[in-house]
Amino acid sequence: MVTELKAGIEGRASVTVNKENTATAYGSGSVNVFATPAMVGLMEHAAISAVESLLETGFTTVGTRIDVKHLAATPLGMNVTATARLVEVDGKRLLFEVEVRDEVELVGTGVHERFIVKMDSFIKRAEGKPGKIDNAAG
Protein backbone atom coordinates (compact mmCIF):
# COMPACT_ATOMS: atom_id res chain seq x y z
CA MET A 1 0.00 0.00 0.00
CA VAL A 2 2.70 2.53 0.98
CA THR A 3 6.42 2.59 0.65
CA GLU A 4 7.60 4.65 3.61
CA LEU A 5 5.34 7.41 4.83
CA LYS A 6 6.67 9.24 7.85
CA ALA A 7 6.16 12.57 9.54
CA GLY A 8 8.17 15.39 8.03
CA ILE A 9 7.53 14.61 4.35
CA GLU A 10 6.60 17.80 2.48
CA GLY A 11 4.85 18.62 -0.75
CA ARG A 12 4.30 21.88 -2.59
CA ALA A 13 1.97 23.30 -5.20
CA SER A 14 1.99 26.74 -6.80
CA VAL A 15 -0.31 28.79 -8.98
CA THR A 16 -0.58 32.34 -10.31
CA VAL A 17 -3.76 34.19 -9.38
CA ASN A 18 -5.84 34.64 -12.54
CA LYS A 19 -9.48 35.37 -13.33
CA GLU A 20 -10.40 31.66 -13.10
CA ASN A 21 -9.29 31.23 -9.46
CA THR A 22 -10.71 34.43 -7.96
CA ALA A 23 -13.53 34.75 -5.46
CA THR A 24 -15.66 36.30 -8.21
CA ALA A 25 -15.17 33.29 -10.51
CA TYR A 26 -15.89 30.76 -7.74
CA GLY A 27 -18.94 32.67 -6.54
CA SER A 28 -17.43 32.79 -3.07
CA GLY A 29 -17.15 36.58 -3.05
CA SER A 30 -17.33 39.65 -5.22
CA VAL A 31 -13.67 40.64 -5.36
CA ASN A 32 -11.04 39.58 -7.91
CA VAL A 33 -8.58 38.13 -5.39
CA PHE A 34 -7.48 34.52 -4.78
CA ALA A 35 -10.56 32.57 -3.71
CA THR A 36 -10.75 30.57 -0.51
CA PRO A 37 -11.97 27.47 -2.42
CA ALA A 38 -8.97 27.83 -4.76
CA MET A 39 -6.68 28.07 -1.73
CA VAL A 40 -8.20 24.88 -0.28
CA GLY A 41 -7.64 23.09 -3.60
CA LEU A 42 -4.03 24.25 -3.68
CA MET A 43 -3.52 22.98 -0.12
CA GLU A 44 -4.94 19.58 -1.10
CA HIS A 45 -2.72 19.46 -4.17
CA ALA A 46 0.34 20.12 -1.99
CA ALA A 47 -0.65 17.28 0.37
CA ILE A 48 -1.17 14.90 -2.55
CA SER A 49 2.23 15.82 -3.98
CA ALA A 50 3.89 14.99 -0.66
CA VAL A 51 2.85 11.33 -0.72
CA GLU A 52 1.67 10.24 -4.17
CA SER A 53 5.06 8.98 -5.34
CA LEU A 54 5.34 6.82 -2.20
CA LEU A 55 2.06 4.96 -2.73
CA GLU A 56 2.01 1.59 -4.44
CA THR A 57 0.37 1.34 -7.85
CA GLY A 58 -3.41 1.28 -7.57
CA PHE A 59 -3.56 3.35 -4.38
CA THR A 60 -4.34 7.03 -3.93
CA THR A 61 -5.43 9.39 -1.17
CA VAL A 62 -8.75 11.12 -0.67
CA GLY A 63 -9.41 14.23 1.36
CA THR A 64 -11.73 13.77 4.33
CA ARG A 65 -11.31 16.94 6.39
CA ILE A 66 -9.83 20.39 6.08
CA ASP A 67 -9.80 23.26 8.57
CA VAL A 68 -8.35 26.48 7.19
CA LYS A 69 -7.91 30.16 7.94
CA HIS A 70 -7.68 32.53 4.98
CA LEU A 71 -5.59 35.34 6.42
CA ALA A 72 -4.76 37.73 3.57
CA ALA A 73 -5.94 38.65 0.08
CA THR A 74 -3.77 37.95 -2.96
CA PRO A 75 -4.34 40.03 -6.12
CA LEU A 76 -4.38 39.01 -9.78
CA GLY A 77 -0.95 38.21 -11.19
CA MET A 78 0.71 37.25 -7.92
CA ASN A 79 2.08 33.73 -7.32
CA VAL A 80 0.89 31.64 -4.36
CA THR A 81 2.55 28.49 -3.04
CA ALA A 82 1.07 25.91 -0.69
CA THR A 83 3.27 23.71 1.47
CA ALA A 84 1.91 20.60 3.16
CA ARG A 85 3.90 18.81 5.85
CA LEU A 86 2.88 15.31 6.93
CA VAL A 87 2.66 15.43 10.74
CA GLU A 88 0.92 12.15 11.57
CA VAL A 89 0.53 8.71 10.03
CA ASP A 90 -2.06 6.46 11.68
CA GLY A 91 -2.57 3.42 9.47
CA LYS A 92 -4.35 4.71 6.37
CA ARG A 93 -5.00 8.13 7.94
CA LEU A 94 -2.62 10.98 7.06
CA LEU A 95 -2.65 14.36 8.79
CA PHE A 96 -0.97 17.41 7.25
CA GLU A 97 -0.24 20.94 8.43
CA VAL A 98 -0.66 23.26 5.46
CA GLU A 99 0.20 26.85 4.74
CA VAL A 100 -0.07 29.15 1.75
CA ARG A 101 2.15 32.13 1.05
CA ASP A 102 2.08 34.67 -1.72
CA GLU A 103 5.09 36.73 -2.76
CA VAL A 104 4.63 39.04 0.23
CA GLU A 105 3.08 37.23 3.20
CA LEU A 106 1.37 34.27 4.80
CA VAL A 107 -2.03 33.90 3.14
CA GLY A 108 -3.54 30.84 4.82
CA THR A 109 -2.94 28.05 7.32
CA GLY A 110 -4.71 24.86 8.21
CA VAL A 111 -4.88 21.17 8.95
CA HIS A 112 -5.80 18.63 6.30
CA GLU A 113 -6.69 14.94 6.70
CA ARG A 114 -6.46 12.36 3.92
CA PHE A 115 -6.97 8.60 3.80
CA ILE A 116 -5.15 6.06 1.65
CA VAL A 117 -7.58 4.05 -0.47
CA LYS A 118 -7.39 1.38 -3.13
CA MET A 119 -8.50 3.28 -6.23
CA ASP A 120 -10.59 0.61 -7.98
CA SER A 121 -12.47 -0.35 -4.79
CA PHE A 122 -13.12 3.30 -3.99
CA ILE A 123 -14.46 4.06 -7.47
CA LYS A 124 -16.58 0.89 -7.52
CA ARG A 125 -18.18 1.81 -4.20
CA ALA A 126 -18.88 5.41 -5.32
CA GLU A 127 -20.36 4.28 -8.64
CA GLY A 128 -22.53 1.70 -6.88
CA LYS A 129 -24.59 4.29 -5.02
CA PRO A 130 -28.34 4.00 -5.58
CA GLY A 131 -29.73 6.71 -7.83
CA LYS A 132 -26.44 7.23 -9.70
CA ILE A 133 -27.04 8.82 -13.08
CA ASP A 134 -25.96 6.53 -15.89
CA ASN A 135 -23.98 8.78 -18.25
CA ALA A 136 -23.95 6.06 -20.91
CA ALA A 137 -27.76 6.21 -21.16
CA GLY A 138 -27.38 9.59 -22.62
Q: Which of 17, 12, 11, 66 is nearest to 38 (CA)?
A: 17
Give the residue numbers marked as catalytic: 36, 44, 70
Q: How many degrees, rounded to 5, is the angle at CA 106 between CA 23 and CA 87? A: 105
Q: Comparing C-alpha atoms, which of 7, 4, 2, 3 is closest to residue 89?
A: 7
